[in-house]
Amino acid sequence: MRNAAQGELPVPDPNQRLSGIVEEHRSRLFRFIRQRVADPRDAEDILQDVFHQLVEANRLLMPIDHLTGWLFRVARNRITDLFRKKQPTSFSELAPGSEGEQRLAIEDLLPSADDGPDALYARRVLLEEFEEALAELPKEQREVFVGHEFEGKSFKEMAAASGVNLNTLLARKRYAVLHLREKLQDAYEELMEL
């Protein structure tokens, strides 16, 4: 086997090449992530995951046409994954497990206003969609949903006050949650495409 001393060009070390890429893009990519993620630990985890994906892509010899764009796309996807993990999967998770537990507000389900302009925009769009979806509900479903989720009334209280069967109230709330979930999921998916 011939080496550089014998006139053959040295083969570049793939680890050095990856180290150079990491060094070159690290600070800019971290700033991008931090503008969208409030917790610096989450941001660092996302950054590490992006570079891990790069190492895996290199190991599997996946072609990457535009490296910078690829890195930022992976970062955006990881940020989206983080927001999905931190959000409750349904409004039924808002209900307390027992009397005396504090209820979550709709505010707790939205991206923080402090997480940058993208989060602020997403927050505004989701609130508007929620208000529209709530207004679309039949009056009986809306009253049960608002009474239970926002006013903290129990189903027994609402049944006693309205004279409506407890199971009917539960069904109304279930239909309301399904409608709201569908509308908000559509809005969320549209936001992720932007």
Q: What is the mean pLDDT of residues 165-179?
A: 91
Identify the pLDDT of residue 141: 93
Torsion region of 12: left, alpha or beta (phi above 0 gives left; psi -120 to 50 gives alpha)? beta
Rounded Cα distance, 78 and 65, in Å: 20
Q: Cβ distance 50 to 74 under 8 Å?
A: yes
The structure tokens listed for 53 are 């994906």
Q: Cβ distance 50 to 75 under 8 Å?
A: yes
Mean predicted lDDT score pLDDT of the chain: 74
Q: Cβ distance 169 to 158 under 8 Å?
A: yes
The structure tokens listed for 164 are 């409506």
pTM for the full model?
0.44
59-99 residue pLDDT tens: 777 666 677 778 888 888 888 877 777 654 443 343 333 33
The structure tokens listed for 186 are 């559509």
Identify the pLDDT of residue 112: 65
